[in-house]
Amino acid sequence: MRRGIVQFRPHQTIMRPEDPPSIVYTIYEGWAYSGIVLGDGRRQIVSFMIPGDSIGLLSLYGKSPIGTVRALTPTTLCMFDANDMKSQLIATDQGREALERATIACATEIAHRLTDVGQRRASGRVAALLLALEARLRKRGYSERGAFEFPPNQEHLADALGLTPAHVNRTLMQFRKLGLLEHSKGRMHILDFSQLQRIARED
């Protein structure tokens, strides 16, 4: 079933909306992100993908991806043939459920991002995104007591949150001054979870 291992460098495009839905990847190492690009260059980052996530889940449903998927860091992927993988998965109850779970988790996450962007002010959006990412990373063992690799730069965050890079910066700066987190050189360390949770809830 596995078709091989592929590597991508930062910024490289892994999958496009116009690609045929013939391939699925699984992230072995590195981060990627999926974004919808508008005609004039604006883009909405719809999701960040971390090791263990699938890229091109929609291929399993015969659909091309919604957005463009690009590598955020040097990335190692396992490559599968969509048809092969699908028949493998739907052969067993476990497989079907795993696929369904992944699809739904993805949709749920997007709905929550929509809620963040639609209803929260800048500080709440940043806090909510960081907490959501930390939770996902922790489940997979990539976060140690709130400290983890965090490759997105402030422009990525801005595009994910519907903010401006400058404003993301001010917001992170403020969090740092309040002692809520440390952040430099691609590492994030969340110091005060409960305070960030409060901000995510109230702002």
Partner DNA sequence: CGTTGTTTTGAGATATGTCAACAGGGGTGG
Partner DNA sequence: CCACCCCTGTTGACATATCTCAAAACAACG
**Among the listed residues 114, 135, 166, 178, the single contact to its own copies using CB under 8 A:** 114
Tokens, residue 59: 């291929």
User: Does 170 sit near DNA (CB under 7 A)?
Assistant: yes
| Tokens 């892994």 sit on residue | 14
Query: Which strands form 32-37's sheet, in the order they lie side by side?
Result: 13-15, 68-71, 32-37, 43-49
Other CB atoms within 10 A of residue 92 CB: 10
- Strand, helix or coil for residue 129: helix
**Among the listed residues 10, 74, 95, 162, the single contact to its own copies using CB under 8 A:** 162
User: Minimum CB separation from DNA for residue 95, in Å?
Assistant: 38
Residue 146 C-alpha from the chain's centroid: 17
**Among the listed residues 9, 16, 42, 140, the single contact to its own copies using CB under 8 A:** 42
How do beta strands 54-55 and 32-37 pair? unpaired
From CA 195, how far away is CA 54, in angstroms rounded?
A: 32
Nearer to DNA, 7 or 153 (CB): 153
Positions that interact with DNA (CB under 7 A): 121-123, 153-155, 162-167, 169-170, 172-173, 184-185
Positions that interact with its own copies (CB under 8 A): 36, 38-40, 42-44, 46, 58, 61-63, 66-67, 100-101, 103-104, 106-108, 110-115, 117-119, 159-162, 201-202
